Amino acid sequence: MWLGMLQGGMRTADEARAINVHTVRCLRQRYKETGWTASRPRSGRRRVTTPAQDLYIRTSDLRDKYRMATTVRVTPVTHNPFISAQTVRNRLREAGLRVCRPVVRQVLTRHHRQQHCLWAQNNRRWIRHDWQKVLFTDVSRFCLTRGDGRICQRNVKGMRNEHSKE
């Protein structure tokens, strides 16, 4: 739109006012120098992966949430042998996928189990009237085995880890 105004001979201030943008002067100057308005190449490292490879990394990770970045890195070797595990992590982070470790909870010991069985045996003859006096407020979760946190899972931000060991 503004290019037509430029070619029509309109002033920069009038163009900026017409399209409500104050950067018209920079665009105008870039068009006069290069003949096009796209951004110039910027300094910095170029991306190693293509958009198709980025999509492959995201979809392969969503198919297998427990796969590590090093194994995802090895899979597209035929396409790009120079991709690193850190690049895979960066692409997954850009896609909104983050690593979640399983929740580590208190482990039930043999003593806990014995106390639980003893309590159940003592109260097994309770009737409804007795149970109405009890208020269960403990919402703690316990693990039967210790979760060492080695198995990681990637989730979309805001999603809970539904398959954690509890």
pLDDT per residue rounded down to tens, the chain (166 residues): 556 665 666 776 776 666 666 666 777 777 778 877 777 777 888 888 888 888 888 888 888 777 777 776 666 545 566 788 888 889 888 888 877 766 666 777 889 889 988 988 988 888 888 888 877 766 565 556 655 555 565 666 655 555 444 4
Residue among 92, 94, 74 at smallest CA distance from 83 = 74
Query: b or e along 75-97 (b: 16 or more beta carbons within 10 Å of the residue's beta carbon)?
Result: ebeeeeeebeeebbbbbbeebeb
Domain ranges of the chain: 2-34, 45-124+141-157
The pTM score is 0.43
Strands (E) in the chain, as ranges, are 97-100, 106-107, 142-143, 153-156
